[in-house]
Amino acid sequence: MVMASAGVSMPGGDGDPAAASTFSSTPECHRIRRRRRLALPAVATAAGSDAAAAAAAAGPSSREKRVRPASPSASSVSSLSDGSDGEEDVGDAEEEESQPLPPAGLQRPAAAAQAWPMAFGSLSVAGRSRDMEDTVSLHPAFHTWVDGSPMHFFGVFDGHGGSHVAELCRDRMHVFLSEELAAEEASFVQRLHRRKQQAAAGEGTSAASASGGGGVLQEEEERAWRAALERTFRRVDAMASLACACGRIARPPCRCPLAGNSGIVGSTAVVAVLVRGRLVVANCGDSRSVLCRGSDGAATPVPLSSDHKPNRPDELARIQAVGGRVVYINGHRVRGILAMSRALGDRMLRPEVIAEPEITITERTPEDECLILASDGMWDAVPNEIACSVARQCLQDGNPTAAATAEAAAGRPEPEARCSNAASLLVRLAIGRDSWDNISVVVIDLQHR
């Protein structure tokens, strides 16, 4: 009895064994002893606090992820179950830290995507022509650039000799361009790193490049976009040479009855890619892209492409340099056949007719009203100035619906009524001005309305 009670501090106990023995048999004594057994060891709690403080002081470089309590008490068991989740969180954080991040110059604020609005609409009709050979392609947010910026694709394709090359462009060009942009991103980041390292080492060619500022980033971005577009046009042209009017794409070329004139079947292509504050336009043929830039209440047309006509001085010189001829038969034509000097397909007219696009990159401004892409069925009847004025007035009169605004805010832009109405009005205007060709129009609104 004395040994059992000696380790217990009892109230009123003065070391008398009899008193201790008498007190140990009381209910109060049993309650105190039970509390002592259930209490947390003070040493274990202090050890856990010290270890936690040491782990916190060690910082993220420490490999210790949690501290186990020295005693398996109820509170320590709950801490251990919570600690398993903490271990996963720490592991995830360490994995994120170990992943390579894009260069600082590529990180764009989220507000930048909202600074450049975009809405679109289109219309494509056969007009007074017997056959329909035009197509349009509308693919907003078809690709995400390396810095997280969405890229929007719009295209107009005017076929000749048949519609299957224009349909091929409509169905495949944006897919090929997305693949080429993805392939170009890795080399773009490597080139950017290399140039910044050379600039930091004093090997740069200018003080601007040594600062590693936006000039280097913009130059390398534009170089990557141009390369991706050029490869995309080459891929589509190679596939167009194998396309048949029956819908097959095969090597060797299809031998079906519809393949008789496939060698002189082709299509123009005017493509606009919108990314942040830049308009990237690639043109091959006589379709056209015109930017309507507002100034003092008027819409000034700014052509972003130049028609590839056989009588254009530089195109005529190129055709003659390879031994070709331009013959005037109801207009200037290559070999008296094709009324344009560049096109996708038309393998029987090589090397005079090439598929190399001309690419322009234009900085957007707050005064830009809209961008118009159209086939020559509209441009031959409606001048640039009238087209810009009509489209601008139509866009100002129409307001976006609440549903369209919500879809655009949610990142799912869809054709809007005011843009489709503007495209429809331009088509009707071209028909009223005696256009006999297919007419395809895409109107892209560049303003908050």
Closest by CA to 132, choosing from 156, 160, 155, 170, is: 160
Count of domains forming the chain = 2
Residue 163 in any domain: the answer is yes
Report how far Cα 121 is from the mean position of its chain's Cα atoms.
20
Residues 436/122, Cβ–Cβ less than 8 Å = no
Same domain, 352 and 230: yes
Residues 414/395, Cβ–Cβ less than 8 Å = no
Name the residue with tokens 């000034």.
300
Question: ∠ CA 221-226-230 to the nearest 5 degrees?
Answer: 150
Across the chain, how many H-helices and E-strands are there? 14, 14
Residue 295 in any domain: the answer is yes
Same domain, 276 and 132: yes
Q: What is the pLDDT of residue 344?
A: 96
Hey, what are 277's tokens? 């504050």
Residue 140 in any domain: the answer is yes
Residue 100 in any domain: the answer is no
CATH number at residue 391: 3.60.40.10
Closest by CA to 266, choosing from 167, 374, 136, is: 167
Same domain, 149 and 233: yes
Task: Give the sign of the dihedral formed by CA 307, CA 311, CA 316, CA 320.
Answer: positive
> What secondary structure does DSSP assign to 15-84, as a single string?
S-HHHHHHHHTSHHHHHHHHHHHHSPPHHHHHHHHHHHHHHHHH-TT--------SS--HHHHHHHHHHH
Residue 437 in any domain: the answer is yes
Name the residue with tokens 């109230």.
11
CB atoms within 10 A of CB 401: 12
Residues 184/176, Cβ–Cβ less than 8 Å = no
Residue 333 in any domain: the answer is no
Looking at residue 406, what DSSP letter applies? H
Would you state the torsion angle of the CA atoms of residues 296, 297, 302, 304, taken in this order, to the nearest 10 degrees?
120
Residue 236 in any domain: the answer is yes
Closest by CA to 376, choosing from 318, 291, 290, is: 290
Domain boundary among 42, 60, 93: 93
CB atoms within 10 A of CB 384: 18
Domain boundary among 93, 128, 158: 93
pTM (two decimals): 0.71
Looking at residue 113, what DSSP letter applies? H
Domain boundary among 36, 59, 93: 93
Instruction: Give the residue numbers spanning the domain of 176.
Output: 117-308+343-445
Q: What is the pLDDT of residue 215?
A: 75
Same domain, 253 and 157: yes
Q: What is the pLDDT of residue 294?
A: 82
Same domain, 292 and 428: yes
Pairing state of beta strands 269-275 and 266-267?
Answer: unpaired
Same domain, 122 and 78: no
Same domain, 286 and 400: yes
Same domain, 263 and 351: yes
Residues 162/265, Cβ–Cβ less than 8 Å = yes
Residue 185 in any domain: the answer is yes
Closest by CA to 149, choosing from 194, 113, 192, is: 113
Same domain, 128 and 79: no
Hey, what are 65's tokens? 């992820």
Same domain, 296 and 358: yes
Amino acid at 233: F
Same domain, 362 and 299: yes
Same domain, 289 and 403: yes
Please report, in tens digits, the pLDDT of each residue of the chain (449 residues total).
434 434 434 344 444 444 444 444 555 655 666 555 544 444 333 334 344 333 444 444 433 333 333 443 334 333 333 434 444 443 443 444 333 445 544 545 444 445 788 999 999 999 999 999 999 999 999 999 998 999 999 999 999 988 989 999 999 999 999 999 999 998 888 888 887 777 777 754 544 444 445 677 888 899 999 999 999 999 999 998 777 766 667 666 666 766 656 678 899 999 999 999 999 999 999 999 999 998 666 779 999 999 999 999 999 999 999 999 999 999 999 999 999 999 999 989 999 999 999 999 999 999 999 999 999 999 999 999 999 999 999 998 876 555 555 555 455 567 789 999 999 999 999 999 999 999 999 999 998 87
